[in-house]
Amino acid sequence: VAAPRRRASDDPVESIKASILDHLTHTFARDTAGATPRDWFLATAMSARDHLTSRLIKTQSAHNDQNVRRLYYLSLEYLMGRLLISSLQNAGVYDHTRQALEELGVDWEALRASEDDMGLGNGGLGRLAACFIDSLATLDLPAIGYGINYEFGLFRQAFENGHQVENPDSWMIYGTPWELMHPEYQQEVQIYGEVENVFDDSGNYRPQWVNTHKLVGVPNDIPVPGYGTETVNILRLWTSHATEPLDLNAFNEGGYVEAVRNKATSETISKVLYPNDKTENGKELRLVQQYFFVACSLKDIIRRHMRVEGNGWHNFADKVAVQLNDTHPAIAVAELLRILIDEESLDWDEAWAIITKTFAYTNHTLLPEALEKWGVPLYARVLPRHLQLIYEINRRHLETVAAKWPGDNEMLSTCSIVEEGGGKQLRMAHLAVVGSHAVNGVAALHTELLKKDLFPYFDTLFPGKFRNKTNGITPRRWLLDCNPALSALITKTLGRPDWPRNLDLLQALGKEADQPAFQQEFMAIKRVNKVALAETIQELCGIEVSPDALFDVQIKRLHEYKRQHLNLLHIVALYRRLLQNPDLDMVPRVFVFAAKAAPGYDLAKNIIRAINVIGARINHDERIQGKLKVAFLPNYRVTLAEKIIPAADLSEQISTAGKEASGTGNMKLALNGALTIGTLDGANVEIGEEVGDDNIFIFGMTVEEVEAVRNAGYRPYDFYYADEELRAVIDWIGSDYFTPGERHAFAPLHHSLLDGGDPYMVLADFRSYSDAHLAVDAAYRDSPRWAKMAIMNTARVGKFSSDRTIREYAEDIWNLPPVPVK
Ligand code: 26V
Could you write out the DSSP letters of every residue in 792-814? HHHHH-GGGBHHHHHHHHIIIII
Say if residues 432 and 405 touch (Cβ distance below 8 Å): no
Q: What DSSP character marks residue 277? A: S
Q: How close is the Cα of 21 to the center of ligand 1, in Å?
A: 43
Q: How close is the Cα of 124 to the center of ligand 1, in Å?
A: 6
**252 has pLDDT over 70:** no
Answer whether 325 contacts ligand 1 (Cβ < 6 A).
no
Answer whether 148 contacts ligand 1 (Cβ < 6 A).
no
Q: How close is the Cα of 278 to the center of ligand 1, in Å?
A: 7
User: Angle CA(305)–CA(308)–CA(310) in degrees, nearest 5?
Assistant: 85
> Residue 453 has what pLDDT?
92
Q: Is 539 in a helix, a strand, or coil? A: helix
CA distance 60 to 307: 14
**Which residues, 6 or more positions from 709, have their beta carbon under 8 angstroms from its beta carbon?**
701, 761, 764
Q: Counting beta carbons within 10 angstroms of the beta carbon of residue 628, is it exposed (0 to 12), middle (13 to 18) or buried (19 or more)?
A: buried
Answer whether 154 contacts ligand 1 (Cβ < 6 A).
no
User: ipTM of this model?
Assistant: 0.95
Q: How close is the Cα of 475 to the center of ligand 1, in Å?
A: 22
Q: Is the dihedral of CA 731, 733, 734, 738 positive or negative?
A: positive
Q: Which of 198-202, 466-470, 816-820 has the lowest mean pLDDT?
A: 198-202
CA distance 555 to 611: 13
Q: Is 205 in a helix, a strand, or coil? A: strand
- Count of C-beta atoms within a 10 Å radius of residue 816: 21
Q: How close is the Cα of 804 to the center of ligand 1, in Å?
A: 21
Instruction: Estimate the crossing angle of helix 37-65 against helix 12-22, to 10 degrees.
Output: 110
Answer whether 122 contacts ligand 1 (Cβ < 6 A).
yes
Instruction: Provide the residue count of the chain.
Output: 822
Of 370, 411, 410, 417, the C-alpha closest to 390 is 417
Of 79, 121, 105, 147, the C-alpha closest to 17 is 105
Of 700, 717, 721, the C-alpha closest to 753 is 717
At 190, phi and psi to the nearest 5? -120, 160
Answer whether 601 contacts ligand 1 (Cβ < 6 A).
no
Domains 69-81+117-470+808-814 and 475-800 share a fold: yes
CA distance 624 to 117: 38
Distance spanning both ends of the chain, measured CA to CA: 40
- Count of C-beta atoms within a 10 Å radius of residue 812: 14
Answer whether 384 contacts ligand 1 (Cβ < 6 A).
no
User: Angle CA(732)–CA(735)–CA(739) in degrees, nearest 5?
Assistant: 105
Q: What DSSP character marks residue 547? A: T
> Residue 26 has what pLDDT?
95
Question: Of all atoms in ligand 1, which is nearest to the CA of residue 77?
Answer: 8
Say if residues 185 and 196 touch (Cβ distance below 8 Å): no
For residue range 585-639, list pLDDT tens digits in order. 999 999 999 999 999 999 999 999 999 999 999 999 999 999 999 999 999 999 9
At 814, phi and psi to the nearest 5? -90, -20
Q: How close is the Cα of 226 to the center of ligand 1, in Å?
A: 26
> Residue 91 has what pLDDT?
86
Q: How close is the Cα of 556 to the center of ligand 1, in Å?
A: 12
CA distance 673 to 793: 6
Residue type present at position 770? S
- At the fourth CATH level, the homologous superfamily of domain 69-81+117-470+808-814 is Glycogen Phosphorylase B; (3.40.50.2000)
Answer whether 447 contacts ligand 1 (Cβ < 6 A).
no
Nearest CA owner, ligand 1 atom 7? 277
Q: Which residue from 365, 367, 596, 660 has its CB within 8 A of the most atoms of ligand 1, so it is best to mutate?
A: 365
Question: Of all atoms in ligand 1, which is nearest to the CA of residue 127?
Answer: 20
Of 660, 657, 659, the C-alpha closest to 702 is 657
Nearest CA owner, ligand 1 atom 2? 277
CA distance 558 to 576: 25
Nearest CA owner, ligand 1 atom 15? 125
Q: How close is the Cα of 558 to the center of ligand 1, in Å?
A: 12
> Residue 5 has what pLDDT?
52
Answer whether 370 contacts ligand 1 (Cβ < 6 A).
yes
For residue range 545-576, list pLDDT tens digits in order. 999 999 999 999 999 999 999 999 999 999 99
Of 248, 240, 253, the C-alpha closest to 213 is 240
- Count of C-beta atoms within a 10 Å radius of residue 86: 23
Answer whether 13 contacts ligand 1 (Cβ < 6 A).
no
Say if residues 79 and 120 touch (Cβ distance below 8 Å): yes
Q: Which residue from 74, 125, 284 has its CB within 8 A of the most atoms of ligand 1, so it is best to mutate?
A: 125
Residue type present at position 565? H
For residue range 79-128, list pLDDT tens digits in order. 999 999 999 998 889 999 999 999 999 999 999 999 999 999 999 999 99
- H-run or E-run covering 305: helix 284-309
Half-sphere exposure (Cβ direction) of 293: Cα atoms closer than 13 Å? 30
CA distance 578 to 609: 23
Q: How close is the Cα of 331 to the center of ligand 1, in Å?
A: 18
Q: How close is the Cα of 371 to the center of ligand 1, in Å?
A: 10
Q: Which of 187-201, 249-263, 394-408 has the lowest mean pLDDT?
A: 249-263
Answer whether 285 contacts ligand 1 (Cβ < 6 A).
no
Q: How close is the Cα of 365 to the center of ligand 1, in Å?
A: 7
Provide the mean pLDDT of the chain. 95
Nearest CA owner, ligand 1 atom 8? 277
Question: Of all atoms in ligand 1, which is nearest to the CA of residue 372?
Answer: 3
Nearest CA owner, ligand 1 atom 19? 124
- Cα–Cα distances (Å) from 338 to 74, 183, 221, 386, in that order, read 18, 26, 27, 7
Residue type present at position 819? V
Which CATH number is 475-800's, of 3.40.50.2000, 3.40.50.10470, 3.40.50.300, 3.30.870.10? Answer: 3.40.50.2000
Q: Which residue from 276, 364, 654 has its CB within 8 A of the most atoms of ligand 1, so it is best to mutate?
A: 364
- H-run or E-run covering 591: strand 589-594
How confident is the model over 673-679, as a mean pLDDT?
Answer: 99
> Residue 256 has what pLDDT?
65
| Cα 311 versus chain centre, distance | 37
Residue type present at position 619? N
Among residues of the chain, what percentage have pLDDT more than 70?
96
For residue range 14-70, list pLDDT tens digits in order. 999 999 999 999 999 999 999 999 999 999 999 999 999 999 999 999 999 999 999
Answer whether 615 contacts ligand 1 (Cβ < 6 A).
no
**512 has pLDDT over 80:** yes
Q: What DSSP character marks residue 390? A: H
Nearest CA owner, ligand 1 atom 1? 277
Nearest CA owner, ligand 1 atom 23? 663
User: Angle CA(165)–CA(167)–CA(170) in degrees, nearest 5?
Assistant: 165
For residue range 430-461, list pLDDT tens digits in order. 999 999 999 999 999 999 999 999 998 999 99
CA distance 345 to 368: 38
CA distance 437 to 805: 18
CA distance 706 to 656: 8
DSSP H helical segments within 495-601, as ranges? 516-541, 564-580
Strand order in the sheet with 425-427: 373-375, 425-427, 418-419
Question: Of all atoms in ligand 1, which is nearest to the CA of residue 471?
Answer: 21
Answer whether 128 contacts ligand 1 (Cβ < 6 A).
yes
Residue type present at position 650? L
Of 564, 570, 641, the C-alpha closest to 131 is 641
At 395, phi and psi to the nearest 5? -60, -45
For residue range 271-320, list pLDDT tens digits in order. 999 998 777 777 999 999 999 999 999 999 999 999 988 778 999 999 99
CA distance 374 to 418: 10
Q: How close is the Cα of 324 to the center of ligand 1, in Å?
A: 13
- Count of C-beta atoms within a 10 Å radius of residue 57: 12
Answer whether 240 contacts ligand 1 (Cβ < 6 A).
no
Among residues of the chain, what percentage have pLDDT more than 90?
91
Reading phi first (left if > 0) and then psi (alpha if -120 to 50, else beta), residue 761 is in left
Structure confidence at residue 245 as a pLDDT band (50, 70, 90)? low
Q: Which residue from 75, 131, 277, 283 has its CB within 8 A of the most atoms of ligand 1, so it is best to mutate?
A: 277
Q: What DSSP character marks residue 343? A: I
- Count of C-beta atoms within a 10 Å radius of residue 728: 14
> Residue 174 has what pLDDT?
87
pTM assigned to the model: 0.96
**129 has pLDDT over 60:** yes
Q: What DSSP character marks residue 137? A: H
Answer whether 365 contacts ligand 1 (Cβ < 6 A).
yes
> Residue 205 has what pLDDT?
86
Answer whether 471 contacts ligand 1 (Cβ < 6 A).
yes
Q: Is the dihedral of CA 98, 104, 105, 107 positive or negative?
A: negative
Q: How close is the Cα of 496 to the center of ligand 1, in Å?
A: 37
Structure confidence at residue 4 as a pLDDT band (50, 70, 90)? low
Say if residues 410 and 400 touch (Cβ distance below 8 Å): no
Question: Of all atoms in ligand 1, which is nearest to the CA of residue 664?
Answer: 23
- Count of C-beta atoms within a 10 Å radius of residue 659: 24
**254 has pLDDT over 70:** no
For residue range 700-752, list pLDDT tens digits in order. 999 999 999 999 999 999 999 999 999 999 999 999 999 999 999 999 999 99
CA distance 168 to 157: 9
> Residue 203 has what pLDDT?
87
Answer whether 661 contacts ligand 1 (Cβ < 6 A).
yes
CA distance 352 to 357: 9
Q: Is 466 in a helix, a strand, or coil? A: strand
Answer whether 125 contacts ligand 1 (Cβ < 6 A).
yes
Q: How close is the Cα of 277 to the center of ligand 1, in Å?
A: 5
Q: How close is the Cα of 370 to the center of ligand 1, in Å?
A: 8
Question: Of all atoms in ligand 1, which is nearest to the CA of residue 682?
Answer: 25
Nearest CA owner, ligand 1 atom 24? 663
Answer whether 660 contacts ligand 1 (Cβ < 6 A).
yes
Structure confidence at residue 807 as a pLDDT band (50, 70, 90)? very high
Answer whether 442 contacts ligand 1 (Cβ < 6 A).
yes
Answer whether 662 contacts ligand 1 (Cβ < 6 A).
yes
Domain ranges of the chain: 1-66+83-113, 69-81+117-470+808-814, 475-800
Answer whether 681 contacts ligand 1 (Cβ < 6 A).
no
Question: Of all atoms in ligand 1, which is nearest to the CA of residue 124?
Answer: 19
Which residues belong to the active site?
364, 556-557, 562, 664, 668
Of 616, 722, 683, 744, the C-alpha closest to 364 is 683
- H-run or E-run covering 196: strand 194-196
> Residue 267 has what pLDDT?
79
- Cα–Cα distances (Å) from 403 to 400, 407, 420, 430, 487, in that order, read 5, 9, 21, 18, 58
